[in-house]
Amino acid sequence: MELARREFLVAGGLAAGAISAFGATMAPSAVHAAEAFAPVAIHDPVLPASRSIAKARAGVGTRLVALTGDRVRFWRSELSAHRAAISGCTTWADMVILRGLAAEQGLRLRAEAREGGLFAWMLA
């Protein structure tokens, strides 16, 4: 089958339009994917020391997230799709709950340290 120049250009234009439309629909998910791989530091907003320790231990570009409400709902809504390291400074009980939820998605406790009455930890 031979294509005339005009048919080739029309087909190429349609393909380019389809690719750009596909790219436009993929852009938000690409942003979402980038967020899934950005480091996160969790802190308990009720405990002022928690935020300051989490912030001090967090690297550049790390998103600080306040641990609020039900811990399981928090994990499922905020971090269930997260694939990068997650650090935090929380109470022992919160660390144990989050560690268990992280294990469900393949993350493991890599480091922990006592900071006063709180625990600084990292899951990866």
**pLDDT given for residue 55 in this prediction:** 83
Q: What is the dihedral of CA 100, 106, 39, 36, to 10 degrees?
A: -110
The encoded tokens of residue 11 equal: 């087909």
The encoded tokens of residue 44 equal: 């308990």
Contacts of the segment 108-112: beta carbons below 8 A, 24+ positions apart: 110/85
Greater confidence (16 vs 10) lies with: 10
Confidence band of 26 (pLDDT split at 50, 70, 90): very low
- Whole-model pTM: value is 0.67
Question: Does the pLDDT of residue 67 top 90, yes or no?
Answer: yes
Q: What is the dihedral of CA 68, 72, 75, 78, to 10 degrees?
A: -60
Render the burial of 87-120: b for 16+ CB within 10 Å, e for the rest.
bbbbbeebbebbbebbeeeebeeeeeeebeebbb
